[in-house]
Chain A
Amino acid sequence: MSIRRTTLASRVGLPVAVAALLVFTLFPVYWMISTALDPKASLRGSDVLPSGISFEHFTYVFDKGNFGTYLLNSALVGLATIVAAGLLSLFAAIAVARFKFRFRTSVLIMILIVQMVPLEALVIPLFIQMRDYDMLNSLLGLSVVYIALSLPFAIWTLRGFVATVPKEVEEAAYIDGASWPRMFWSVLLPLVAPGLVATSIFAFITAWNEFVFAYTFMKGSDKYTAAVGIYQFFGENSTAWGPVMASSTLVTLPVMIFFVVIHRKLGSGLAAGAVKG
């Protein structure tokens, strides 16, 4: 009795649930891309299919909107963030996962606490500091902020990865006479590489997606990042939806490709963290 009910429920219920999930998750993505391609974007209304396919909004955002520069700015800032945050967080993660020292727990708790600080609390003093040191409108200044923002999370994640490398592997390397730097390079690094990839991607996405700091600090329009660059097409009363959605697509697609490519690693990374729970 109960078995038959289960099969009936799965025959009807599962496909309905899957369909609902797919519509809810993908419709906004579809709507963004199809509006970007629709030459009559702003008149779409409730037409589910675009009135035609054209790339005119994409060429418009590059030609008139300077969007190429913004994408490049975002990529530069993201790259700087990956490299610096990856390196610094790896060192810190090794320190907290491998060594026992005084104030270790305090350091970990401090890292946890600074992660909770709301951006809006930081944006006011950082803006004043940056202005006083003439660092507004500087891609370097923005990168440094993003490095700080990605660090706590990266340290916590990598700490888990470093901790899962068996101590015996390291000890075996020592017995074979390896020095610490050598052990780091040829034993530890390859083993934590998946974790490093995961944290780097998250650091990159933090920098790529961030809006508040970029919007507040970057006022010279050739210094915008892509996430802020969309704002210029957005008007309170008359919005050019074609360019807004075309530039949104350009910001979103790289992240989506990233996520899909690494989704296995992402899953195992998440699982590695949650399994013990």
Chain B
Amino acid sequence: MKETLVEGGPEAPARRGPPKSDGGAESARRRKKLVTLTRPWLLLAPSLLVLAGLLLWPLIQVGKLSMQDYEVKFGGGVGTFTGFDHYTDLLSSSLLWKTVLPNTVFFAIACVGLTVALGTLVALLLNRLGAFWRLICSIAILAAWAMPAVTGTYVWIWLFQPQDGMVSQIAGSLGLIDPETTNWFTERGPFYAIATLNVIHHGFPFVAITVLAGLMTIPKELYEAGELDGANAWQRFWNITVPTIKPVFLVVTILSTIWDFKVFTQIYLQPGGDGSNEDVYNLGVFSYIQAFAKNDYGTGAAAAVLLTVLLLLITVVYIRTLFRQGEEDL
């Protein structure tokens, strides 16, 4: 899993070759040195090629596209250089500042906070259960985790469907809403509340299972000592659990942040999320709609670059955290 990163990673030792034979042959030693030098690169080459060709190169291309007006012509596309026009347009549009960025940022903050809080609570719960109930709950958590984003989203839409969805009907029968006229998906607040529920349902299992793995490494004696000192449950959690497995919390928080900033499928599939309702744009959807629905690849690319820069900033924090917590470097 990604939290393998929690490990500082033992310093990989230079592999020791077979015991020296005679040590006399100079050429043999030189050949061995060449093998030692090239072998790691030969092993890495296929992966690096794939990553460079399919992740890095397109990333450079998207930067280039963001400074062009790209037009699809017969047999390919033609780009006209426009400098930073797309960026100035984007950064001066009120849609970005009033809708797109707030949607992206507040949604990510809500999802991360709630996912980590719920995941931690569930981990603490699992840690207190006996073997049988822990297994039952773990399987239920796995079921939530295993539900693909696409199908999970359809289920939440169905539950909140105007008129005939279960939640709409129950809320209607309680007199909270008029199910004939209420559409949860047309306004930003309810739209994103449903998306948040969806993302939490899908995302908290990862946090719960990772934090549980961390909890199980904490020696029981620490809690016994805490209890003897008269610490209550909250104090024991805050003064023993949190500091001991702080690295685990850091990693799950940063990973969730990265994931929740780039939520796309869950937004795009909700009614109105595919671009027909501007109020519910987030940065990813906005970029996609500009490029593929409006054929404005340049603006779409500029928005994509903006999202990438945001995520890179978070990644820098992530990498620094990893470096700081490893005893040695990577």
Contact = CB atoms under 8 A, between A and B. Distances in A.
B196 to A, nearest CB: 14
A124 B217 contact: no
B50 interface: yes
A276 B248 CA distance: 9
Interface in B1-42: 1-10, 12-19, 36-37, 39-41
A75 interface: no
Contact of A148 (B15, B51, B61): B51
A251 B151 contact: yes
B281 interface: no
Given A100-B14, A174-B18, A244-B158, A29 B144 contact: yes
A259 interface: yes
Contact of A151 (B14, B50, B283): B50
Nearest to B248: A277
Indicate the size class of the contact surface on chain A.
Answer: 35 or more
Given A101-B40, A129-B58, A119 B3 contact: no
Contacts of A95: 39-41, 43-44
Nearest to B173: A46
A170 B17 CA distance: 10
Interface in B223-268: 227, 232, 245, 247-248, 251, 258, 261-262, 264-265, 268
Contacts of A208: 148
A108 B330 contact: yes
A211 interface: yes
Contacts, number: 356
Interface in A215-255: 216, 227, 230-231, 234, 236, 239, 241, 244-245, 248-249, 251-252, 255
Nearest to A99: B40
Contact of B6 (A120, A152, A277): A277
A258 B304 CA distance: 34
Interface string A1-43: 0100000001000100110011011101101100100000011
B177 to A, nearest CB: 13
Interface stretch (A53-61, A62-70, A262-270): A262-270
B87 interface: no
Interface in B186-215: 201, 205, 209-210, 213-214
B282 to A, nearest CB: 10
A110 B50 CA distance: 13
A144 B50 contact: yes
Interface string A76-113: 00000000000011011011111111001101111111
Contact of A252 (B61, B141, B151): B151
A225 to B, nearest CB: 10
A209 B76 CA distance: 30
A147 interface: yes
A122 B62 contact: yes
Given A212-B265, A245-B154, A266-B142, 19 more contacts: A24-B201, A28-B201, A32-B151, A46-B166, A91-B44, A110-B51, A117-B59, A157-B4, A163-B10, A202-B1, A209-B149, A230-B150, A239-B161, A245-B158, A263-B138, A267-B138, A270-B209, A270-B210, A275-B214
Interface of B: 1-10, 12-19, 36-37, 39-41, 43-44, 46-48, 50-51, 53-59, 61-62, 65, 70, 76-77, 122, 125, 128-129, 133, 136-152, 154-156, 158-159, 161, 164-166, 169-170, 173, 201, 205, 209-210, 213-214, 216-217, 227, 232, 245, 247-248, 251, 258, 261-262, 264-265, 268-269, 271, 276, 283-284, 287-288, 291-292, 297, 300-301, 304-305, 307-308, 311-312, 314-315, 318-319, 325, 329-330
14 contacts: A28-B201, A32-B158, A104-B330, A114-B51, A114-B59, A120-B283, A127-B292, A132-B77, A151-B47, A174-B19, A259-B142, A267-B138, A269-B1, A273-B213
